[in-house]
């Protein structure tokens, strides 16, 4: 029996399945439709926190392309899940803080001011599984503030910390700049000062099982164009 026109067409259109860190979501929402319009390549994408994506992949989740923290790409490559030498660095992302639109703006211009702000805050939220949250947890431990901060913290399993501030549930949100920028109704007042900042590189890696090499290479090349770099920059990400 001959295939129907719709079946034949669906088979002829390449489709990429992507797993991506939340930090890239706003930029990719703008870029991927433009890529599909120009190339005809369809995209299915799922977003998640860095650690959660790693857990899913190690439990058997697969796709064509992974967009995640460079260290996670390297780990999964060593474990034989991603293609060796397929890592392409796209952008770097830094950690920032936000308060409500009408709230006083704290001072975090120096490490000392940052520590004083953490001590003075009535409530703080950070993520448990995102790169920024994992780093922040290690930072407050290093600064000797772990017990004090956690006593007044809301630790999100996954999601956007700025949403809690926008709803008035928490005073101070900590997350990647690009993730805070996905939330309306908050004031992203500053990045962490250099002494306590962490810049995280976000990269692409190809799953070993993928047979979509040409389409993947086309997408990765697109994500390195000047238009893509401009979109990343507008969403708080620094092109590598």
Amino acid 1: pLDDT: 39
Mean pLDDT of 226-239: 97
Q: pLDDT averaged over the chain?
A: 94
Instruction: Indicate the helix (H) or strand (E) that contains 163.
Output: helix 162-166
Report whether CATH 3.90.180.10 matches the domain 5-92+201-239: no
Could you tell me the residue ranges of all domains in the chain? 5-92+201-239, 94-196
Single out the residue of 51, 89, 46, 98 nearest to residue 200, CA to CA.
Answer: 89
Q: Which fold has domain 94-196?
A: D-Maltodextrin-Binding Protein; domain 2 (3.40.190)
> DSSP character for 220?
H
What pTM, to 2 d.p., does this model score? 0.89
pLDDT band at 11 (very low <50, low <70, confident <90, very high): low
pLDDT at 117 > cutoff 70:
yes
Single out the residue of 230, 205, 228, 208 nearest to residue 217, CA to CA.
Answer: 205
User: Which two tokens mark 49?
Assistant: 């926190």
> DSSP character for 236?
T
Tokens 């953490």 locate to: 118
Strands 42-48 and 186-191: unpaired
Q: 143's torsion region: left (phi>0), alpha (psi -120 to 50) or beta?
A: alpha
Q: What is the pLDDT of residues 166-200, one digit of tens each?
A: 999 999 999 999 999 999 999 999 999 999 999 99
5-92+201-239 and 94-196, same CATH topology: yes
> DSSP character for 82?
B
């Amino acid at each position: 029996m001959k295939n129907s026109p719709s079946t034949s067409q669906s088979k002829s259109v390449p489709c990429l399945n992507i797993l991506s860190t939340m930090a890239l979501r706003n930029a990719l929402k703008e870029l991927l439709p433009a890529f599909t319009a120009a190339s005809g390549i369809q995209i299915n994408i799922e977003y998640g926190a860095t650690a959660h994506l790693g857990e899913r992949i190690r439990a058997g989740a697969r796709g064509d392309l992974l967009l995640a923290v460079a260290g996670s790409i390297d780990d999964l490559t060593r474990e034989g899940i991603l293609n060796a030498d397929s890592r392409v660095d796209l952008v770097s992302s830094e950690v920032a803080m936000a308060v409500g639109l009408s709230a006083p703006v704290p001072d975090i211009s120096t490490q000392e001011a940052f520590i004083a702000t953490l001590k003075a805050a009535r409530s703080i939220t950070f993520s448990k599984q995102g790169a920024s949250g994992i780093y922040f947890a290690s930072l407050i431990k290093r600064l000797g503030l772990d017990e004090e901060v956690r006593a007044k913290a809301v630790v999100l399993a996954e999601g956007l910390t700025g949403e809690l501030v926008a709803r008035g549930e928490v005073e101070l949100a900590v997350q990647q700049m690009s993730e805070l920028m996905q939330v309306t109704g908050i004031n992203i007042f500053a990045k962490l000062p250099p002494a306590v900042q962490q810049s995280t590189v976000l990269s692409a890696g190809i799953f070993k099982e993928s047979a979509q090499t040409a389409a993947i290479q086309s997408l990765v090349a697109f994500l390195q164009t000047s238009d893509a770099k401009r979109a990343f920059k507008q969403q708080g990400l620094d092109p590598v």
